[in-house]
Amino acid sequence: MIEEGSQNVYADLGCANADAMKRKAMLIVRISDVISAKGLGLAQASAVMGIGALCLESWIMGHFRGADEAVLHTCLRYLEMPPH
């Protein structure tokens, strides 16, 4: 039997903090999209955001549960800034 899920897979799976996880996932997708659109490598993107390349790689691979949402917003803002 197939059931229709909600708009939040984390809630459907019964995860704690499902709304926060969905927001973080959407931020990570946006970060990844901007990195791709700008043609940045992992090292370049992490330098722009002021974080370690391993941290960024981990986020992109889906390991962002412990990431602070405000930090993700800041990283995205840095990525979206026009170059000097």
Q: What is the pLDDT of residues 21-58, one digit of tens each?
A: 999 999 999 999 999 999 999 999 999 999 999 999 99
Whether 1 is covered by a domain: the verdict is no
| Residue found by looking up tokens 């996932």 in the block | 25
Write out the residue range of the structural domain in which residue 72 sits: 9-80
Average pLDDT taken over every residue of the chain: 93
**Positive or negative: CA dihedral 43, 48, 51, 55:** negative
Helix pair angle (69-80, 42-49), 10° resolution: 110
At 83, the pLDDT band (50, 70, 90 cuts) reads confident
The CATH number linked to 39 is: 1.10.260.40
Whether 3 is covered by a domain: the verdict is no
Count of structural domains, the chain: 1
pLDDT score at 24: 97
By residue count, the chain amounts to 84
- Mean pLDDT within 63-67: 94
Which residue in 74, 72, 78 sits closest to 58, CA to CA? 72
- With a cut of 90, say whether residue 4 has pLDDT above it: no
